[in-house]
Amino acid sequence: MAVITASGLARTFTTKRGTVEAVRGIDLTAERGEILGLLGPNGAGKTTTLRMLTTLLAPTGGSATVAGCDLARDPAGVRRSTGYVAQSGGVDPNVSVREELVTQGRLYRLPKAEAAARAEELADALGFDGLLDRKCAAMSGGQRRRLDIAMGLVHRPAVLFLDEPTTGLDPGSRAGLWELVRRLRTDFGTTVVLTTHYLDEADALADRVVVVDQGVVAAEGTPRALKTEYTGSPDASLQDAFLAITGRGPAPADTIPVAV
C-alpha cells in the first residue's frame, strides 16, 4: 500500500526576473517501509518537492497524499504523520539533548512524561543514551545528526523525510547513519525518503530511486534496474547511470581542447 502518492505536483515561483518553474509536475509513490532515494542535480527540484510533501511549501499544481492525509485538505494530518530533517539541522546548542527532545515532543502535544520517555527510548535506539544531559553544542557532527533524526522521530511518524542527511560527516559517522536508516525501516516500519548527492549512498540504501531533473521525473526504478538500463551492466556504478540519465557526463574525448 502506498504511503505517499503525488500526481502532477508542481511549484512555480514569481521573481523580479519572471516566473521560475522549480517543479513542473512530479508523479511519485512510496510504499510502507520503503527507502526511496530522490536524486537530481543542484536545482532539480528535490528540496522543493520535500518541502511541498511536508506542507512547508504550498504546491501551485497537482495533488498528493501522505500517510492517507490529503496535502491540501488535511495539512495538519500530514504534519502529524511525518518527520522532516532539513539539510542544516535545527538543534539549539544552548540546551541539553534531553531538553531538546522533550520540547520537540511537547510541540507535537505529547504529555510531558510521554515526551520524556520517548527521549530515553530514542537516545537508546539511536546510540546516544549517554549524552542526554550534555549540551547540544558539545556533540560531534555525527551525534548532532543523530539527534536531528531523533527529533524527526519523537512523535513516531509513518514517514521520515531526510534532506541530504550525511553531508559534511566523516566516513565513520556516515556509515553509522546508513545503518540507522536501515534500522528505521526494519525496526519501526518507517517509510524513509532521502535526498543525497552521494550516489554510492543511494545505491547502498535505497530500495528504489527517483531521478528528478529540471523539475520532472527523468527516471525511476531500483538502483540495479537503472544501472542495467542506462549503462548496460548491473555492476556499473549508480553514478554512471545518473550521468547517463541527466546527460551530465564528461565531455567526449574528441571535444576536449588539447594544450599545444
* pLDDT cut 70: percent of the chain above it: 95
Instruction: Give me the helix-helix angle, 171-188 and 112-126, nearest 10°.
Output: 120
Of residues 59 and 258, the one with the higher pLDDT is 59
Confidence of residue 249 (pLDDT cuts 50, 70, 90): low
pLDDT of 254 reads 42
pLDDT classification of 126: cutoffs 50, 70, 90: confident
Percent of the chain with pLDDT over 90: 68
Flag whether pLDDT at 253 surpasses 60: no
Q: Which numeric CATH code is attached to 2-11+28-90+160-248?
A: 3.40.50.300
The three grid cell numbers given for residue 55, joined into one nine-digit string: 506542507
Closest CA to 40 of 216, 223, 232: 216
196, 202 contact by CB (below 8 A): yes
> Residue 145: which pLDDT band, with cuts at 50, 70 and 90?
confident
Domain coordinates in residue numbering, the chain: 2-11+28-90+160-248
Return phi, psi of residue 107, to 5°: -65, -25
Let me know how long the chain is.
260
Asked if the model's pLDDT at residue 16 lies above 90, the reply is no
